[in-house]
Amino acid sequence: KFSDHEERLSGSDRDEDEDDVEAALKKEVGQIRASTEQKLRRFQSVESGANNVVFIRTQGIEPENLVHHILKDMHTTKKKKTRVILRMLPISGTCKAFMEDMKKYTETFFEPWFKAPNKGTFQIVYKARNNSHMSREEVIKELAGIVGSLNPENKVDLNNPQYTVVVEIIKTVCCLSVVRDYVLFRKYNLQEVVKSNKEDAQQNPSSLTEEQNSEVVKAEIEEEEKSSKEVKEENK
């Protein structure tokens, strides 16, 4: 029931009040929808807590498959598709950056790749940012021990492993992933992976295989012989 005062309100005043309520409801519904859509976005930027590090959260996408697909395409086409991104690393799991937490978490996290009957050769790469309480040697030793305990046939290979365990520590968060073709894709470096073998050989001659080295030496010898032949002809 309306009070006497409310009954004296003109119809237009009531309409205005109703309009205000309706507008407020629409605004609230819009905010809820926007919030829901933001949560369900396929890619969303998250503050990493470290300079020059961008963290992108994915929804419904396997990070390893996505990043491997991008690098494989760049390695095949040799087309440079970014000027500012140096490396792109998938992160499949996170835990607190304390040794006990990491050991407990990785015992389950490593199972899809290393628990019997699964097996493979592996290496562990470690990098820490804004963190000084973790020891690189201790982390690598403990995680390698966990991989070995899941299946004794898992072996360390620092030259060309099947899997690379990536450990990225940012402040008090440990980011983990297990990736393939880490050596082939130049440590997941987007600037290096597009270089041809010739360019890479010129910049990193020590990275050549024995077969490639012999080919380079052979080419140099042939070039020397050609030069000496030209000199002889000039003397004649």
* CATH number for domain 55-196, candidates 3.20.20.10, 3.30.2300.10, 3.60.15.10, 3.40.50.140: 3.30.2300.10
The structural domains of the chain, with segments of one domain joined by +, span: 55-196
Of 176 and 32, the one with more pLDDT: 176
Token duo for residue 217: 């030496």
Q: How far apart are CA 177 and CA 58, in angstroms?
A: 14
Of 171 and 205, the one with more pLDDT: 171
Of 204 and 115, the one with more pLDDT: 115
Question: Is the pLDDT assigned to residue 195 strictly greater than 60?
Answer: yes
pLDDT digits (tens, 9 = 90+) for 42-56: 898 888 888 899 999
- Give the per-residue pLDDT at 196: 77
pLDDT digits (tens, 9 = 90+) for 153-190: 999 999 999 999 999 999 999 999 999 999 999 999 99
What's the pTM value of the predicted model, to 2 decimals?
A: 0.68
Please give the full DSSP string across 143-202, using - where no structure is assigned. Answer: HHHHHHHH-TT-EE-SSS-SEEEEEEEETTEEEEEEES-TTTTGGGBTTTTTS-HHHHHH
What mean pLDDT is predicted for residues 87-102? 96
Of 79 and 229, the one with more pLDDT: 79
Q: 127: which strand partners?
A: 168
Question: Is the pLDDT assigned to residue 109 strictly greater than 60?
Answer: yes
Question: Is the pLDDT assigned to residue 60 strictly greater than 60?
Answer: yes
Could you tell me the pLDDT band of residue 2, with boundaries at 50, 70 and 90?
Answer: very low
Question: Is the pLDDT assigned to residue 79 strictly greater than 50?
Answer: yes
